[in-house]
Structure 1
Amino acid sequence: MTTGTEQHHEHDWQSREYVDYWIGRDVTRDDERREHLLRMAALLPYEPDAEIRVLDVGAGYGAVSQAVLDMFPNAHVVLHDFSAPMLEHARERLERYESRTSQVMADLADPAWTQAVGGPVDGVVSGIAIHNLREPELIARVYADVFTLVKPGGAFLNWELIQQGDTSRAANTRAALVMKQRSLFEETGVRPSLEELAAERERRRPSGGVGRRARRSRPTLMDHLGWLRAAGFDEAECFWRDGSNALIGGYRLSSEA
């Protein structure tokens, strides 16, 4: 999912060829992410039949938006992204929801992006996108921008990649391998060694992945929660975390509260 400034790093989000390659690799994880995306949508504080307007920041090819549209049949989702090829993929993916979606292309690094999006909105969602801004000050400013767009009584929900210590990362990796080993044994009666599973994991790892330095430069969970509170959200929470993945969010209480 693309936001703006990361085109200056290793990704070329304006290239249709690169975006096609990236989506072809990423879409294979859609099924395993689906439950988490639906849970994120369900955390929006509205009844399922509510007629709400939701903004998807860094919408990419539309996976998060689709979860919101499915969870709220009367919702309209505004898909924001900085990549024209990504938005074209989203348009194709969400063709059957066409009357309930609109698109905006804007760079989050430009403070005027909120004017392009328009507001207010009942909720804002984002999936594995905003961390691409890289600079903590910029991420904090975007959180503040988002707050200005959310109506009182609304929410901002963000599935993000966060910094994880070396020890906890190693423990999570080993735990995943142990669970994989257990699952294979139950299904086939064969128990491959953890070393074999680790080697297979490395073989399947896409080239050009995120390096250790980039992982260490990510903000921590506490950073994100602090920025949400500083932005003005009355309640900031982590709803789910698994290793370097976290579902965080902030609620803007109604003016009557």
Structure 2
Amino acid sequence: MNIKALFDTAAQDYDRTRSQYIPCFDEFYSTALGLIPHESQAHIKVLDIGAGTGLLSGLVAAAFPKAAITLADISDEMLSKARERFNSNPNIEYSTLDFINAPIIGKYDVVVSALALHHTPQEKLKGVFQKIYDALENGGYFINADQTLGSTLENEEKYAQAWLNGTKAKGCTDRDIEIAIERMKADKTATLQNQLNWLSEVGFVHVDCWYKNYRFAVYSGQKPD
């Protein structure tokens, strides 16, 4: 199953299990939100890459009510659920986008992403970072909350066990876990160090990882002003 079909299928039930599939949900998303370096009433343009049902964009919209936010995702079904979430909010736009293979149109003050870019083949992720860099205004920020691959096989096994323990503690059923593991077959996750290196190589500065809990990490970079 390709990525579009995978998430078209997952759209109806996607939000129900988000906080269970991400054991560190609160810290993970709050760190990403806290990295947006603007005043709450700022008129900023934000692009959410791989926006899905709009979970991260919803947090951004609540924290920055005057922001113009574009949700971009390959799945029309996911964007349909996002439209339900935002209920005709005039500050929200939607774009069906295959960010791996298509250009990113427009200029933005902030580009955010959550749990989307790890579906990019590793050999293409640097190119996606380049497109994000090019879509930012000078001085703009890219903030990514995503998964990382363990730096060794042993570490990856620890990541997997920690995730399994955490999801069970959050109340995931055996069926929920089976569904998640099936979706993981589409993952193309890279190590954190490689992701940070590729950001720097395309031109981002002040690149750093601000939060990490086993495989879940939040990092950012700035396009020079």
TM-score (norm 1): 0.74
Check if 1:239 corresponds to 2:210: yes
Instruction: After TM superposition, give the deviation of residue 40 of structure 1 in Å.
Output: 1.1
Check if 1:49 corresponds to 2:41: yes
Check if 1:161 corresponds to 2:136: no
In structure 1, which of residues 91, 104, 114 is the aligned counterpart of residue 95 of structure 2? 104
* Kept after mapping to 2: 8 A contact 1:121/1:150: yes
Separation in 2 of the partners of 1:248 and 1:201?
27
SS of alignment partner, residue 137 of structure 2: strand
* Kept after mapping to 1: 8 A contact 2:31/2:218: no
* Kept after mapping to 2: 8 A contact 1:136/1:219: yes
Separation in 2 of the partners of 1:128 and 1:214?
14
Separation in 1 of the partners of 2:99 and 2:20?
27
Aligned CA RMSD, in angstroms, stands at 3.1
Structure 1 pair 24–240 and aligned structure 2 pair: CA distance change class (3 A) = same
- Deviations along 1:213-255, one digit per CA (max 9) or x if unpaired, are 959952101110011111211221111100000101111232x
2:3 counterpart residue number: 6
* Kept after mapping to 1: 8 A contact 2:111/2:141: yes
SS of alignment partner, residue 64 of structure 1: helix
* Kept after mapping to 2: 8 A contact 1:44/1:154: no
Separation in 2 of the partners of 1:65 and 1:175?
25
2:134 counterpart residue number: 148
Q: Which runs of 5+ in 1 are unaligned?
A: 181-196
* Kept after mapping to 2: 8 A contact 1:123/1:156: yes
Structure label with greater radius of gyration: 1
* Kept after mapping to 2: 8 A contact 1:233/1:251: yes
**Higher RCO (CA-CA < 8 Å; seq separation 6+):** 2
* Kept after mapping to 2: 8 A contact 1:140/1:227: yes
Separation in 2 of the partners of 1:253 and 1:106?
26
Q: Identity over aligned residues, as a percent? A: 24
In structure 1, which of residues 194, 201, 221 is the aligned counterpart of residue 192 of structure 2? 221
Q: Which runs of 5+ in 2 are unaligned?
A: none
2:61 counterpart residue number: 69
TM-score (norm 2): 0.83
One-letter amino acid of the counterpart of residue 94, structure 2:
Q
Separation in 1 of the partners of 2:20 and 2:77?
19
Aligned residues: 220
One-letter amino acid of the counterpart of residue 6, structure 1:
I
Instruction: After TM superposition, give the deviation of residue 174 of structure 1 in Å.
Output: 6.3
